[in-house]
Chains A and B, each alone.
Chain A
Amino acid sequence: MKRLSVTKPKAIIKVFAVLLPLLLCGFGVAAASAEHSSGVSGNGAASPAVEVAHGAAGAEAAPEEEKAGDVIMHHILDKNVLSFEPFGEVSLPHLSVPAFVPVLGGLDISVTKHVVMLWLVSAALMIVFSVVGGKYKTMSSRQAPKGLANAMEALVEFIRLDVAKSNIGHGYEKHLPYLLTIFFFILFCNLLGLIPYGATATGNVNVTLTLSIFTFFVTQVSAFRAHGVKGYLQHLTAGTHWSLWIIMVPIEIIGQFTKPFALTVRLFANMTAGHIIILSLIFISFILKSYIVAVAVSVPFAIFIYLLELFVAFLQAFVFTMLSALFIGLATAHEGHDEHESAVAHH
C-alpha cells in the first residue's frame, strides 16, 4: 500500500511529462491548419495515447462511434494475424488436422493470435520456472531463497497452504501440480494481455472453457478415486430419500456442470471487461474529439483501470485456482468419515 502511494504520483507525473509536448505540438498543428485540424491532430495523438494505455488499438481509429466498437472488438477477438500497429503485421499459418486422423480429421487448428499468446505464456513459464527450479535443485535446505526464487516461492507457498491444503485437506499433495500450473498459466496469460501488443488469451471463452474442462475432469476423476463408483452414485442422490431421487439426481448432475461453466464465464468476462473498459475510456477522447477529455478523463482513468487490471489479473488467477481446489475438495470429501473429520478438526 505504501509503495503504491509512492509510485502512483510518480507515474502520473511521468505520463504528463510525455503528454505535454504532444499536446503543445497538437495545438500548433491545429493553429496552422484550422480547417482540417481534427483529422490531422487526431491521427497524430492517437497512437501514443493508445500505446500508453494499451498498445495497438490502431492509428486509423476513426472518431465515429460504430468504428470505436469495431476497433475494440477487433482488439479483443481472436484473429489470424499478429498486428504491430505502426510497423505492420504478421499473418499466421492456417492449419487443419489431416483427414486420416480418426476423430479430429479435418478440424481447423489454425494458429491464431491467442494460440501464439498461449505459447508465449508457456515459454515464459518454462523460462521462469526452469530458473527457479534449478535454483531449488542446487540450494541446500538451510539456505534462504533470493530474488526470483523467493518471489515465486511466496506464490507457490500461498497456493500450497492457503488454497490447496485448506480446501482439499487430506491428500492435497497430488493435486498441487495441477493447481500450481493452472494458477501460473492463468496469471501469466492475464499479465501478458496487459503489455503493449499483447493479447489476453484468458479473455477468450474457448481458452477458459478448456481450462475449466480440465478442472471438471480432475474433479470427477478425484471423486471417483475417493468414493468408487458406488460412492459416486450415492453422492449424486445427496443422501435423500429414494422418492426424491427423481428430482435430486438431475439437480446434482446439472450442479456438476454449472461449476465449470461458472469458472469459464467468470474468468472470460473479467478479463474481457477490463480491456473493454480501458479501450472505451481511450475512445471517449476520440469520440468527443477533445484533448482536455483525453488528459483529464481518458488517460488518468485508463491508468487507474490498468492498475486495477493488474490486481484483477492476480485475483482472477487466484479465484480460478481457489474454486478448482474447492470443487476438488467437495468432490473428495468423506462425509462422516474419519479422514474428513480429522481434516476438519485440523482446520
Chain B
Amino acid sequence: MLTSGIILLAGSLLSPNPGLIFWTAVTFVIVLLILKKIAWGPILGALEEREKGIQSSIDRAYKAKDESEAILRKNRELLAKADAESDRIIREGKDYAEKLRADFTDKAQAEAKKMITAAKDEIEQEKRRALDVLRNEVADLAVKGAEKIIKTALDADMQKKIVDSMIQDLSTKRN
C-alpha cells in the first residue's frame, strides 16, 4: 500500500529533538532517584529478607529432618538391642530351668536309689537278725526237747554240740 511508503518517506519519524532528549533524561533521572528511595529499597529489602527467611526455614527443616532421622535410627537400634536382650534373658531362663529340672530329677533319682538300697540293707539285716534269733530259739527248743527225751542218759553239753553242728550244716545247705 502507498501509505507505508509515505510514512517511510516522511522522515520526521527519525528527526532529532533535543528538547525531548533533555526532558526524557531529566524525567528518567528524577524517576530513578525517587523510585530508588520510595520503592526499590523497601521492596528489595523485603524480598531479600524473605529469601533469607525461606532459606533458613528450609535449612532448619532439613536439620530437623536429619535430627529426627537420627533419633529414629537410635530408637530402632535400641529396640533391636532390647529385643535381643529379652531373647537372651528368656533363653537363659529356659536353660536355667532345664538345668534345674534335670538336677532335681537326678537328685531325686539318686535319693530314691539310696533309699532303696538303705531299705534293702535294713531288710537284709533284719532278716539276718531274725534268722539268728530263730536259730537260737530253734536250738534252745531242740536242746530242751532232747534234754527232756534223754535227760538222764546223755550229757547235756555233748548233745547240744551235736545238735548245733547239725543245725549249722542245715543252714549252710539251705543258703
Question: Which residues on A are within 8 Å of B, measured CB to CB?
Answer: 65-66, 68-70, 72-73, 76-78, 95, 104, 107-112, 114-115, 118-119, 122, 125-126, 129-130, 132-134, 136-137, 139, 141-142, 152-153, 156-157, 160, 173, 176-178, 180-182, 184-185, 201, 204-207, 209-211, 213-214, 272, 276, 280, 283
Q: Is the CB of A111 within 8 A of B47?
A: no
The residue in B3, B21, B47 that gathers the most chain A C-beta atoms within 10 A of its C-beta is B3
Which residue of B is nearest A138, CB measured? B42
For the complex, what is the distance from the CA of A115 to the CA of B24, rounded to whole Å? 7
- Give the complex CA separation of A214 and B17 in angstroms: 17
Q: Please list the 7 inter-chain residue pairs (A to B) with the smallest Cβ-Cβ separation, ordered nearest first.
A: A129-B39, A69-B6, A133-B39, A210-B24, A109-B19, A136-B42, A206-B20
Would you call A110 and B39 a contact (CB within 8 A)? no
B 119-170 contacts with A by CB, 8 A:
none
Cβ-neighbour of A108 out of B18, B30, B50 (below 8 A): B18
Measured CB to CB, the nearest residue on chain B to A114 is: B20
Residues in chain A near residue B17, CB distance under 8 A: 78, 112, 204, 206
Report chain B residues within 8 Å CB of A104: 22
Q: Enumerate chain A residues within 8 angstroms of B2, measured Cβ to Cβ.
A: 65-66, 69
Closest residue of chain B to A283, judged by CB? Answer: B3
Structural contact, B42 and A210, CB atoms closer than 8 A: no
Cα–Cα distance between A173 and B2 once the two chains are bound (Å): 50
Minimal beta-carbon separation of B24 from chain A (angstroms): 4
Known A141-B49, A205-B14, A206-B17; judge A109-B3 contact (CB<8 A).
no
Given A141-B46, A180-B40, A181-B36, decide whether A115 and B20 contact each other with a Cβ distance below 8 A: yes
Q: Is B71 part of the binding interface, using a Cβ–Cβ cutoff of 8 Å?
A: no
Q: CA A178 – CA B28 in complex, angstroms?
A: 10
- Checking A76, A139, A207 against B24 with a beta-carbon cut-off of 8 angstroms, the contacting residue is A207
**Contact pick for B43, options A76, A133, A213, CB 8 Å:** A133
Contact yes or no, B46 A136, CB < 8 A: yes
Sample (18) of A-B pairs whose CB atoms are under 8 Å apart? A69-B10, A73-B7, A78-B20, A107-B19, A107-B22, A109-B19, A122-B31, A130-B38, A130-B39, A133-B42, A134-B38, A136-B42, A177-B35, A185-B31, A209-B21, A210-B20, A210-B21, A283-B3
Of A126, A207, A210, which one neighbours B35 at CB under 8 angstroms? Answer: A126
Q: Contacts of B7 on A, CB cut-off 8 Å? A: 69, 72-73, 276
A139 proximity list for chain B (CB < 8 A): 46
Contact A156 B3 (CB under 8 A): no
Other contacts beyond A110-B19, A181-B31: 16, CB < 8 A: A72-B7, A73-B12, A77-B13, A109-B22, A130-B38, A136-B45, A139-B46, A152-B43, A156-B47, A177-B32, A177-B40, A181-B28, A210-B21, A210-B24, A211-B28, A276-B4
Are B28 and A156 within 8 A (Cβ)? no
Q: Which residues of A contact B70 (CB under 8 A)?
A: none
Interface size on B, residues (CB 8 A): 41
Check A137 against B40 for contact (C-beta < 8 Å).
Answer: no
Q: Distance (Å) between the CB of B126 and the closest chain A CB?
A: 106
In the complex, what's the smallest C-beta–C-beta distance from A284 to chain B, in angstroms? Answer: 9
Chain A residues with CB under 8 A of B49: 141
**A-side contacts of B50, CB under 8 Å:** 141
A85–chain B nearest beta-carbon distance, Å: 20
Which B residue's beta carbon lies closest to that of A122? Answer: B31
Select which of A66, A130, A214, A283 is within 8 A of B28 by beta carbon: A214
Q: Would you call B27 and A118 a contact (CB within 8 A)?
A: yes
* Known A-B contacts A122-B30, A156-B44, A211-B24; A108 and B19 likewise in contact (beta carbons under 8 Å): yes
Q: A72-B3, A73-B10, A130-B39 are in contact. Are A185 and B28 (CB under 8 A)?
A: yes
- Compute how far the CA of A150 lies from the CA of B47 in the bound complex, rounded to whole angstroms: 11
Contact B47 A157 (CB under 8 A): yes
Q: How many Å lie between the Cα of A233 and that of B60 in the bound state?
A: 48
Q: In the bound complex, what is the Cα–Cα distance between A248 and B60 (angstroms)?
A: 54
> Which interface residue of B38, B39, B46, B50 has the most chain A CB atoms within 10 A?
B39
Indicate which residue in B3, B12, B25, B31 contacts A280 across the interface (CB closer than 8 Å).
Answer: B3
- Chain A residues within 8 Å of B32, by CB: 177-178, 181
B16: nearest chain-A partner, CB-CB: A206
A160 to B40, CA, bound (A): 11
A153 to B51, CA, bound (A): 13
Could you tell me the distance in whole angstroms from the C-beta of A19 to the nearest C-beta in chain B?
24
The answer for the CA separation of A72 and B18 in the assembled complex, in Å, is 23
Report chain B residues within 8 Å CB of A76: 13
